Structure formats: C-alpha cells, structure tokens
Structure 1
Amino acid sequence: MKLKENNRTTSKSKRKLLRKGVASVLLLNMLCFSLVPAMALAEGEQTESTTSTKPASVQAGATQIPSAESLDLQVSSAILLEPVSGQVLLNINGNQPLPPASMTKMMTEYIVADLVKQGKFNWDDVVTVQKNAANTVGSRIFLAEGDQHTIEELYTAMAMASANDATVALAEHVAGSEQAFVKMMNDEAKRMGMKTAHFANSTGLDIADMPAEFRTQDGKETVMSAMDAAILAKYIVTDHPDFTRFTTIQSKKFRERDKAPMSNLNWMLEANKDVTNFKQFAYEGLDGLKTGHTANAGNCFTGTAERNGMRLISVVMGTKTEKARFVETRKVLDFGFNNFETKQIIPPKSTVAGTETVTVKKAKNTSVPVVSDQGVSFVIPKGADISGVQATVTLGNETLTAPLKQGTSVGTVKYSFKPAGMDQTLEKTVNLITAEDAEKAGWFKLFMRAIGDFFRDLFNGIKNLF
C-alpha cells in the first residue's frame, strides 16, 4: 500500500513539474517574440471617468439666524443676494413679478455702459435729443428737442437723478429708437437669466405716461421680480465695478446755467452721514444703486453695500413711502451683515483626499500630483463649523499622456456644504489640474518599464493557473 501511495505522489510531482516546465518555455517564447506588443500593452488606455465622494463630517452646532418674519418687513417683496456666489440670503415673495418703476433704468445703465466698454461708443460722444425724449415726463432734466449733450452727461443724470428724458435720449442714440432699445433690454434679460422681467420702455414709466406716438403697442407693462432686479444689479456690480463713479455723486449741476443742481435720490449713500437731512438714512459701505417710484409700483429700491470685503445686494419693492424704502432696506442689509460672512472653505491649490495623483502614460513619473485650480468661498452664518464640506471628484475619460504642462485640467471637483442654520446646500465646482509638469520618459526607460509590466502581468496570469 505504501509503495502505491509513494508512486502516486511521485506521479503528481512529475505532472506539476511538467506544467511548470511548459509554462517556462511558453514564457521564453513570448518574451522573445512579443516585446513590441508588450510595450503597446504597457501604454494602454486609462480607466474611464471616476467619481469619489468623501463623507461629510458632523457639524458641531448651528449658528442661530433670525427668521425672515422677525424682521417685520413692510414690503411687497424683498431679496438679499451676495453677488459673487449668487447666494440668496433672504427671499420674501422675491419671484413675484411687480412694476419696478425706475429700477428699470438699471438695464439701460448696464447696456449703455457695456457698449462703451466694448468700444462701440465713447463717454464723450455727443447725443442729439429727439422728440420722444423731449416729451418724456416724470423725473427729468427738461431736455429740448435738438439739445446736445455727451453720453456721460446724460448717463450721470439717469444714474443719480433718475432723469427719464436723459434715459430715453440714450436709448434712442444707442438703438435708433426706444422700441429697438427695448428689444435689446428684453434680449439681455433672457441672457442674464431673469425669469419674470419684461420691459415696455427704457425708463419704467407706465405705458399711459409715455408720449402717445412712441408707446409700445402690445399693452404689456414693465414688470420685474425682486429676484430679477437683484440679478440685474449683480451684473452691474460684477461687469462694471466702476458704477460707483456715477451712483455716489451726491449732487451736480447738469448745465452751468441751471439754478439748482441735480440731487441723488439715494438717501442711504454713506457720504450722506454728514448731510443734515439724510444722515439718519446714511448706511456704512452703501454706494448704489437705484430708486424707483410710480403710483402702481409704490416705492422701490435696489441697494448695494460693501463691508469687510463682502458686498451685498438688497431689493425692496412696494413700500408705502419714499422714506420707508430706505428704512426697510436697512433691515435687510443689517440682516445680512450681522449674521453672515464670506469664508474661504477651500484654499487654492488644495489636494483632494483619495485623488492626490493621476496616472500619466509615458511620463518620467507616472503618478502626477493634482490640485484644485482655485479657492472656494461661501457666504455662511458667522461662526459656522466648516468641517462638513464634501468633495466629489470626476476625472476625465481621456487617456493622459506625457508630455503635459503644469496646470493641465484633468477633471473637476465639486465642493458641497450645508451650513447649520441654512436651508440651502452650497455648491461650487472647480477644475482639478496637474501641480507640476509631466515630462516624457526616454525610450530606454519606456522599454524597461514595458518589460517590467509584461513580466508582472504574465506571472500574475501564471499564478492564477495553479
């Protein structure tokens, strides 16, 4: 019996040695005749897009934010917006389309300033006043048909004194007619993402108050929600940060012969802190933007102020008195500045845990470090815990091959954060870029790497046979 068992054991050992011998011969043959394909295999396709999400940490307690109701706002609607992030910090009936009165002029201001910025017009271009502008009523500087003034002079009268006739004169100069300009306004509103806005004229006047022969024919009045007004203001302060050279002028004569200067209708300008009649309304950091009033609209105001590097935009619509629009604006802005701050959540050039590197084919070092291309800041409740930030990485599905320059985009990282005390989840997506150059390896290094990869793959395959 023992002899038979020993024979069987010996037979199994021989078969095992035979299989290993055959595998070794195969290996040598494949090595001799397959080096070129092996190199191609070593430089194969990169894995398609991958997404990794890091779990959020638990936040350590909420910062108490006063409720909107506690502000006791006497308005038809109100919005508070931070223009850099686009975050809405307060919304009271903010999506309801309402007559905006002269806040309409913000769109006229934006379009004219943009055309000057593009070089299509110059501030010192001379405008000849036409019949429509000369016959426009309401707040005005009493232009006569044939009068000539520069774009800058008329723009100043529009921005600080809300002059309707100056506004129409600019619209006609830019587009040929006010109605052609109105089309530009509505087109621009769509581009900006204003969901409720419709413009019937350049001023915000009711259609019935326009000169009869120049009225819009469809009967659709100008409307704009508080949210749309805030979006429009955001474009002004972002695209034309020099807006303050017009909006902060307290008073100015339009013509040298005028007995009285034009007065800025914005009582909240910080500079008014030394003006007896207005110092009770003066607000620290406030430098714009536009008032409005008609019988249908009531009193409205889009204000903007900057403190400690954070700018806020407030909109109040439908207040009962001229004074009330500034009183309510103070409540809205105080709510923002007292309870929120802009905080950098992620510094620029940050690494993301779990995606510190990417693989770059044919590089000297195939693992290349990657970082975010910019920092991420959110407007959050003061003192809020920021440990709960989530990072979601999405890599591109194309193969990365050396050489690559530093700063090459390889994917994106989305940062998400829901601060305690806020209903909304804050999100921002930035690019993930290479942190250094990825130089191409020399031919010998690539050759040796191909051999190493080939043997590694082959032995892994053989190991699985046994």
Structure 2
Amino acid sequence: MNRFYPHASYSAARSQRFVALFLLMSLIVAMFGAKAANAATDNSGLSLNAKSAILMDAETGQILYQNNADTALPPASMTKMMTEYLVFKAVQDGKLSWDQTVTVQENASLQIGSRVFLAEGDKHTVEDLYKAMAVGSANDATVQLAETVAGSEEAFAKLMNETAKQLGMTTAHFINSTGLDRADMPEKYRPTSIDGETVMSAKDAAILAYHILKDYPEFLNYSKIQSFKFRPTDKAPVVNWDWMLESNKNVTNFKKFAYDGVDGLKTGHTSNAGNCFTGTALRNGTRLIAVVMGVPGDSNDGKRFLETAKLFDYGFSNFEKKTLVDAKATVPGYETLKVKKGAHKKVAVVTASDLTVLLPKGKTVNPTVAEVKPLSDPLVAPIKQGDKVGTVTYTYKDPATQADKTVTLDLIASEDDKKAGWFKLLLRSIGEFFSGLFKGIVNLF
C-alpha cells in the first residue's frame, strides 16, 4: 500500500533548494574571487584582453608591467625571434655571410602557412631568406636558414633550447625554428629527440627581444621594412605583418594601428596560440619592449596591436628616466682601492657608467651600496686611467613593482698609477718590515 508523507516531501524539496542556493553562492564567490585575483596582478587600469603581457625597458631589462607573464604559452611565429637571433650570431661569427647563396632543401619546400613558396633546388642568398623571415614570417625561408646553420631543423631546435638557457629564458621550449605546431610540420621532419610543443612565456619573449636589440641592433634594419619583392618577377611584394610600424601611418589599411616609434619586432598567430606580438618602440631616447600573447580574434583584425598600444601608452605616459648614480662618480667610503708595486699605495676609482632607470613620474629612490669588489685585493700596478679595477653593486626598491633590484656597475681608475722603481719598492718593504716589527713588540706588552 502506497503512502504519502507530505512533510518528508517538503523537507526534501527544501534540501534541494538549499543545495541549489549554496551552489549559486559558491559560483558567485568564485567569480568575484577570480576578478579579485586578476585585479591583484593588474592594478594599472590597462585591462588588457590577452592571456599574458609584459612591458620592459629595452635599455636595462627593467619590468614596468606584467600580467601572467611567467606562464608558458604557444608563441606561434614569435618563435622566429630565436631563429633570427641565431642566424645573426652565425653571420657575426663568420659561419655564414649575408651574400652567401643557399640551395633550398626538401624540408623548406614542404612548409605550410606563411611562406614565399620556395621550391627544392631554388637558390637564394642568406639575406633574402632573412628578409622573408623577418618581414613576411615565411616558414619555408626560416626552415632553410635553420638547416643552413645547424645541418637539420631538429639540430637547430636543440641549439635554440641551449641558447634560451644561456640568455636566462626559464620557460622556453622549442621543437622547431618556426613556431608551427608539431602536427603542422612535414611528418618526415618532425623531431624525434625533442618532446612536446613549442612554448614560451611573455617574459621569455621580452628577454629574447632584449638580447636581439642589445647584441644585434642592426636587426631593426630588417624588422622595419614595410614590404619588399622576394623575387623581381613576383607580382605582389611581401608585406610586413607588423602593422604597428611607424612608417605605416600613411598606409590606408594600417594607419589606425601605426604607432610612433615602432620599428619591430615579431608577430605570431596559430589557432592554438591565438594572436601574439612582441613589439618595440623608441621615443625621446627611451626604448620599450611590449609583449602580448593569446589575444582573441582573427589574425586580420589587428586587435593584438591595439592591446600593445595600451602597453606602450602606459609606459611612455607614466614613466621617466632618472639617473640614480652618475658616471665617473665616487663611491662613498670606497673612493680609493689598495695597490701594490705602484708609485702610490692607493688609486682613485669612479663608476664607469651611470645607473639610470625608469621610474613612475614623480617618484625617486636612493640606491644603497651593497658591495664593492676589486678585481684583486690589492690591485697590481701598473694601472692606467680608465682601466677596469672592480665593480660596485647597488640595491634599491623599485617603486613600480616594490621588488628589490640589484645593479652592478664597473669601477675604473680615475688616474694612472705607474709601477714603482726597484729602489722605492725596497725602501717601502724595509719600512713595512720595521713597522710590522714595532707593532709586534708593542703587542707583547
């Protein structure tokens, strides 16, 4: 016999309503918690529409802004910055020359995506292939340059990973020279000794750009090219994917994205990576590096450039250069360093360069001397004016990030100290002997 228990039914319904209300409140708390977490990492008011971003001073590597900047993400063709760096290094080291003719191999001819349609057996100079890579992000030209440097793209990828560690990049992992996903590589040429996919954090991308600009500033001569014809017979030129170039301010399709001072560096896009961009701009003697990764939308909507412009605006509007220590300044308490075998027992020293940083406008800091380290203690004469004789390390708190910063400057001699003659050294030794003897006698009492 079925029985109806109204109180039990009511109690069950009330429990279900309670559970539903609890779940709803939990969801609301989680949503507000996520917003609070985001606000904690981005208190600049930028509200960037990107998975990660960073803004860096290109002169010192100082970070002015970052949001999720340490997370490794697919960088797409921003990977090519490492290829560009290593090809420049190969040229500088004499392993390649810009006018060297290269014969295109099969791997390059099989590449997909952005390319200049190289065919196996084609012959082109290193410089033409480099332009195709830097301007048009050509995967085929990139692969051919990688193979020319290292013998195979897989060997080149290993070189990329080794170099990343040397440059201080902590998350970067490369499987190829282009940034293509493994599945988009020609099956025959997919790496067997390197696992996973290519990833790199925004901070690592900025570090890489920093080293390109420091070590090979001539790279900008390529990255700022608006367009060029890869072959004289090509109907259409290769157009630079960097729509932010200052030179685009009069180009109808790009002028809304053109930004004063931009002359590089590298775009990137795949379905997995979204839209990425590492850009650099120079204004009034200050050069900044900005990186955005995972910007949603189509690669042809230009949103990554609008997000990058927010970073540049923030940097140029809110920061100014401040010299904390002048070049050729004495270090209080360390105005001289000891010298042996010299005409004098001490030599005057000063800083070799200044300590200049970007600070929020209206802010200042007072650096503290943490360490003075001579090249040897004592130094050995002869010493010429301008010779490096040691280093001085300063510490200060960055008012933008509240992080403790450490900067080391070289110390140089501000005067000559010639090697003393044998007679003077003899007299000095005799004096030091009797001085030490007298002190020893005094200590007996």
Q: What is the TM-score with the length of structure 2 in the denominator?
A: 0.82
Cα distance, 1:350–1:138 mapped onto 2, change above 3 Å = same
Take 1:143 and 1:315, find their aligned partners in 2: how far apart are those partners?
A: 30
Cα distance, 1:333–1:353 mapped onto 2, change above 3 Å = same
Residue aligning to 2:393: 414
Letter in 1 for 2:224: T
Decide which of 234, 238, 252 is 1:258's aligned counterpart.
234
Cα distance, 1:124–1:440 mapped onto 2, change above 3 Å = closer
Residue aligning to 2:339: 360
Do 1:207 and 1:219's aligned partners in 2 also have CA atoms closer than 8 Å? no
Q: CA RMSD, aligned part only?
A: 2.6
Take 2:278 and 2:426, find their aligned partners in 1: how far apart are those partners?
A: 67
Identical pairs, percent: 56
Matched, 1:369 2:348: yes
Matched, 1:237 2:216: no
Cα distance, 1:185–1:404 mapped onto 2, change above 3 Å = closer
Alignment of 1:103-122 (within 5 A): 103-122=78-97
Do 2:42 and 2:67's aligned partners in 1 also have CA atoms closer than 8 Å? no
Cα distance, 1:168–1:464 mapped onto 2, change above 3 Å = closer
Residue aligning to 1:177: 152
Residue aligning to 1:73: 48
Alignment of 1:182-201 (within 5 A): 182-201=157-176
Letter in 2 for 1:376: L
| Greater relative contact order (Cα < 8 A, sep 6+) | 1
1:135-158 deviations in whole A, cap 9, x for unaligned? 211111222222221111111111
Cα distance, 1:258–1:436 mapped onto 2, change above 3 Å = same
Residue aligning to 2:403: 424
Q: CA deviation at 1:446?
A: 5.8
Matched, 1:325 2:300: no
Paired residue secondary structure (1:304): strand
Do 2:181 and 2:198's aligned partners in 1 also have CA atoms closer than 8 Å? yes
Matched, 1:296 2:275: no
Residue aligning to 1:153: 128
Take 1:243 and 1:417, find their aligned partners in 2: how far apart are those partners?
A: 33
Paired residue secondary structure (2:89): helix
Cα distance, 1:179–1:349 mapped onto 2, change above 3 Å = same
Larger Rg: 1
Take 2:326 and 2:174, find their aligned partners in 1: how far apart are those partners?
A: 42
**Greater displacement, 256-265 / 424-433:** 424-433
Alignment of 1:218-233 (within 5 A): 219-233=195-209
1:153-192 deviations in whole A, cap 9, x for unaligned? 1111111111111112222222222222222222221221
Cα distance, 1:401–1:155 mapped onto 2, change above 3 Å = closer
Take 2:258 and 2:334, find their aligned partners in 1: how far apart are those partners?
A: 51
Cα distance, 1:411–1:260 mapped onto 2, change above 3 Å = closer
Do 2:338 and 2:377's aligned partners in 1 also have CA atoms closer than 8 Å? no
Do 1:352 and 1:391's aligned partners in 2 also have CA atoms closer than 8 Å? no
Q: CA deviation at 1:386?
A: 4.0
Take 1:434 and 1:69, find their aligned partners in 2: how far apart are those partners?
A: 44
1:45-79 deviations in whole A, cap 9, x for unaligned? xxxxxxxxxxxxxxxxxxxxx95451001101011
Residue aligning to 1:132: 107
Q: CA deviation at 1:461?
A: 7.5
Matched, 1:392 2:371: yes
Cα distance, 1:207–1:403 mapped onto 2, change above 3 Å = closer
Cα distance, 1:366–1:268 mapped onto 2, change above 3 Å = same
Paired residue secondary structure (2:252): coil
Paired residue secondary structure (1:328): helix
Do 1:94 and 1:226's aligned partners in 2 also have CA atoms closer than 8 Å? yes
Paired residue secondary structure (1:99): coil
Residue aligning to 1:380: 359
Take 1:325 and 1:309, find their aligned partners in 2: how far apart are those partners?
A: 25
Residue aligning to 1:305: 281
Q: Which runs of 5+ in 2 are unaligned?
A: 1-40
Q: What is the TM-score with the length of structure 1 in the denominator?
A: 0.79
Do 1:269 and 1:286's aligned partners in 2 also have CA atoms closer than 8 Å? yes
Cα distance, 1:129–1:352 mapped onto 2, change above 3 Å = same
Letter in 2 for 1:222: T
Q: CA deviation at 1:410?
A: 4.4
Paired residue secondary structure (2:54): strand
Do 1:393 and 1:414's aligned partners in 2 also have CA atoms closer than 8 Å? yes
